[in-house]
Amino acid sequence: MAKRDRFQVISAQVLSTTSLAVGWLGYVPFLIWAASCTRWVELVTDRRRQHLLFGTVFCLFALWLVRRDFDTGVSYHFIGMTAVTLLLDWPLAIVGGFLAQLGLLALGRQDLAALGVNGLLLVGLPVLITEVCAILVERAQPRNLFVYIFCSGFFPAALTVLICVPVALGVLWLDGRFAMPEWLSDFIGYLWLMMFPEAFINGMVISALVVFCPEWLETFNRSRYLQAPWKDDER
């Protein structure tokens, strides 16, 4: 039971040296790229944006602390990066995810050696999936508010689980240090059970923000989604 896969949070004990090195080699440039794209001057001068960042990091940290441990040595927790990406935009979302990882590291809930692999699985891949979906939605320029909520909130969150969990298991399978559970043949059924709550949590957060605080969402076009119908007729 000492070796434990936590679905995206993976112990260094079950990863090979090659996987750990590749994880760091992929995650560090990713962090540097995100830091270079972050609007630091705006962040330093805008106290509201600072509160959003630190509040989001705290919520993300608390969410990752809540997990369900199984007898097989596997633990499951929610990711939550879809809502974070839509709230902060992708560069600051990556920075915020990294800060939440440091919090887990300080509490001993994550291994320093495996921080790179976990960062790619827990932060990088979810942010990439959400950003791609958001770009596709924005290119379509829909005026229906529910299109943004479902196609940028619910759907990317479900897709994140659909992609990230098999990728994590694939890394463990390639390394060959983790004993795969006997119920792996029934994995598709479990995957559906994990997709729905992840989509529900992220989707409901985005729905609440759209209704009560749309100005907080960096990826939300208020002038288009919240425009009165008669203004279109006047054009």
pLDDT per residue, tens digit, the chain (235 aa), is 334 444 457 878 888 999 999 999 999 999 999 999 999 999 999 999 999 999 999 999 999 988 765 554 456 778 999 999 999 999 999 999 999 999 989 988 888 999 999 999 999 999 999 999 999 999 998 888 899 999 999 999 999 999 998 898 888 888 887 776 666 666 777 788 889 999 999 999 999 999 999 999 988 988 888 875 544 444 4
Distances in whole angstroms, Cα of residue 153 to Cα of each of 23, 29, 36, 37: 27, 27, 26, 23
DSSP 8-state assignment for residue 177? -
Question: What is the rounded CA–CA span in Å between residue 187 and residue 161?
Answer: 13
Query: Which pTM does this prediction carry?
Result: 0.88
Q: Within 10 A of 165 (CB to CB), how many other CB atoms are there?
A: 21
Beta carbons within 10 angstroms of residue 81's beta carbon: 32
Provide DSSP, 107-174.
TTSS-STTHHHHHIIIIIHHHHHHHHHHHHHHHH----HHHHHIIIIIHHHHHHHHHHHHHHHHHHHH
pLDDT tens digit sequence for 162-202: 999 889 888 888 888 777 666 666 677 778 888 999 999 99
Rounded CA gap, 123 and 26, in Å?
12
